[in-house]
Structure 1
Amino acid sequence: MGSALFYCFLCVTGLLPALSYSQDDFVCSRATYYGSPDCYGTPTGACGFGEYGRNIYDGHVSGVSKLWRDGSGCGACYQVRCTNAELCAEDGVNVVVTDHGEGDHTDFILSPRAYAWMAKSNDKAEQLFAYGVVDVEFRRIPCRYPGTKTVFKVHEHSNNPNYLAILILYQAGKNDVLNMQIWQEDCKEWRSMRRVFGTVFDAENPPRGPVSLRLQVTGSHGSYIWLEAWNVIPGDWKGGVAYQSDIELH
């Protein structure tokens, strides 16, 4: 295993973090890592992201425990840095939440690539992996996806016109998605969708024709706001297809 994890570190040392930092205070915790043959994330994560959840930010992803927040924590970004001054880099690693998991009193179960990124160097990464669980500090940071707005993907299990499930990709900023609603044209009202798991919302017998969606997202100081995406998905939608919206989360 040691040589494979060493290779993980070599693969990431030339990459730049894709997320910007906030000024929030760090919180003390612990982190570990999970097994992965290629050091990336897993396509079966509890957020429902699939292959997106394996590759996003070059596999710098994590499962979380209490930060899961019943699935609303999916897609959130954190800066995580270990606290061993001899082994750990000052900036640590920026990760995206793609899964839920419980470790040994840990908040983060990192992909091997993300875990290796916390180390100062190749040989320090080897030592870091030997610990298995390390003390860390973390803070929430905005996710940044330059040139990409929020994307709605029709889940593969959807069946037009009887059943529609949607997951949210490229969730920028520091906003949690609390609820999703679909526009019911015949009643002229918004209809609540069910959070199936993670970031997947569904509706039985969805409205015919183009699909309009509305997201309830967290705002500042405990408030929330609604964001609308009109006709974001065409009426002939198909499972597995992703559609870009005009929604920008900050």
Structure 2
Amino acid sequence: MAVVAVNYNYFLVSVMVLLPALCVSQDTFTCSRATYYGSPDCLGTASGACGYREYGRTVNNGYVTGVSKLYRNGTGCGACYQVRCKVPNLCTDNGVNVVVTDYGEGDHTDFILSASAYTRMAQPNLALELVAYGTVDVEYRRISCQYPNTNLMFKVHEDSRFPEYIALVPLYQAGQTEITVVELWQEDCQEWRGMRRAYGAVWDKSNPPSGPLSLRFQASSTNGEWVQFKDVIPSDWKAGVAYDSAFQLS
């Protein structure tokens, strides 16, 4: 099996941030419906089903969404979509680009948008009129996530307990790709051992190896190749901290 190895010096960053398939149009948009959820600041929620916490509230300027069938048992977390509403004279041509950070079901909807994302679909000065609809017809398409000058990062989830339990969450996952398998290197056994997709974008393992952690993953865009990171997580890893991979998907 081919391996893509990544060599780098790691550094850490505290994360503060930082359907119905009814029809398909000729320009690859799929018809659906969307609604929105309320929050005091019109951003996302830190308790989303993807496990992103604060990142899920503020990434992409808070233009985020919960999805139903597109969630795909958590595989759809982090995916980006262009969503545009179809109310005559109220909606822009471009709509809004959103990141999936949560699971949610509505009235035959595929998208439950943050309030800021929902109103972003409206023509200037017509946001309140669009909000009054509550649920609207939309069309959407998958697009590449873009995080300029930002690498893929692996955050140690807040529920991790050093040293007996670790959970990792990929952040700033660019392109149109899903991470499908994650493994940690077990030095004493000289073998790779799989992590479990606990839920959403969260991968976990009890009794992880001691010392710096090397990991590798396969993604839908790597054609079966492994992307490998040596010592990407330091030996004194801490919950709530994200570690830079010096690598980005495309």
TM-score (normalised: structure 1): 0.87
- Cα distance in 2 for residues equivalent to 1:170 and 1:244: 10
Secondary structure of the 2:116 match is helix
1:216 deviation in Å? 1.5
The 1:106/1:224 distance shift into structure 2, 3 A limit, reads: farther
Corresponding residue number in structure 2 for 1:130: 132
Between the two proteins, what is the percent identity of the paired residues?
60
1:27 deviation in Å? 0.6
Which of structure 1's runs of 4+ aligned residues deviate more than 6 A? none
User: Which aligned pairs between 1:162-181 and structure 2 lie closer than 5 A?
Assistant: 162-181=164-183
Corresponding residue number in structure 1 for 2:44: 41
Contact 1:24 1:139 in 2 (8 A): no
Contact 1:227 1:247 in 2 (8 A): no
- Cα distance in 2 for residues equivalent to 1:59 and 1:46: 16
1:136-162 deviations in whole A, cap 9, x for unaligned?
000010111111111001111212221
Structure 2 residue 206 is the aligned partner of structure 1 residue 204? yes
Corresponding residue number in structure 2 for 1:189: 191
Contact 1:24 1:140 in 2 (8 A): no
- Cα distance in 1 for residues equivalent to 2:180 and 2:27: 22
1:165 deviation in Å? 0.8
- Cα distance in 2 for residues equivalent to 1:235 and 1:68: 33
1:227 deviation in Å? 1.3
1:213 deviation in Å? 1.1
Matched residue type, 1:109:
I
Secondary structure of the 2:72 match is helix
1:86 deviation in Å? 0.8
Corresponding residue number in structure 2 for 1:229: 229
Matched residue type, 1:206:
P
Corresponding residue number in structure 1 for 2:157: 155
TM-score (normalised: structure 2): 0.87
Structure with greater helix share of residues: 1
Corresponding residue number in structure 2 for 1:241: 241
1:98-152 deviations in whole A, cap 9, x for unaligned?
0000010000000000000000112x21111111110000001011111111100
The 1:24/1:97 distance shift into structure 2, 3 A limit, reads: farther
The 1:224/1:141 distance shift into structure 2, 3 A limit, reads: farther
**Larger RCO of the pair (alpha carbons < 8 Å, separation 6+):** 2
Corresponding residue number in structure 2 for 1:7: none
Deviates more, 1:156-165 or 1:107-116: 156-165
- Cα distance in 2 for residues equivalent to 1:168 and 1:24: 31
Corresponding residue number in structure 2 for 1:6: none
Structure 2 residue 29 is the aligned partner of structure 1 residue 26? yes
Matched residue type, 1:74:
C
Deviates more, 1:165-174 or 1:183-192: 183-192
Contact 1:43 1:49 in 2 (8 A): yes
1:85 deviation in Å? 2.9
- Cα distance in 1 for residues equivalent to 2:31 and 2:66: 17
Structure 2 residue 94 is the aligned partner of structure 1 residue 96? no
Corresponding residue number in structure 2 for 1:118: 121
1:24 deviation in Å? 6.8
Provide structure 1 residue ranges, at least 5 long, that are not aligned to the other structure. 1-22
- Cα distance in 2 for residues equivalent to 1:121 and 1:176: 35
Secondary structure of the 1:129 match is helix
1:41 deviation in Å? 0.4
Provide structure 2 residue ranges, at least 5 long, that are not aligned to the other structure. 1-25
1:187-233 deviations in whole A, cap 9, x for unaligned?
2221110111111111111011111111121028xx54421111101
- Cα distance in 1 for residues equivalent to 2:184 and 2:27: 34
CA RMSD of aligned residues (A): 1.4
Deviates more, 1:152-161 or 1:53-62: 152-161
Matched residue type, 1:192:
G
Corresponding residue number in structure 2 for 1:139: 141
- Cα distance in 2 for residues equivalent to 1:203 and 1:53: 22
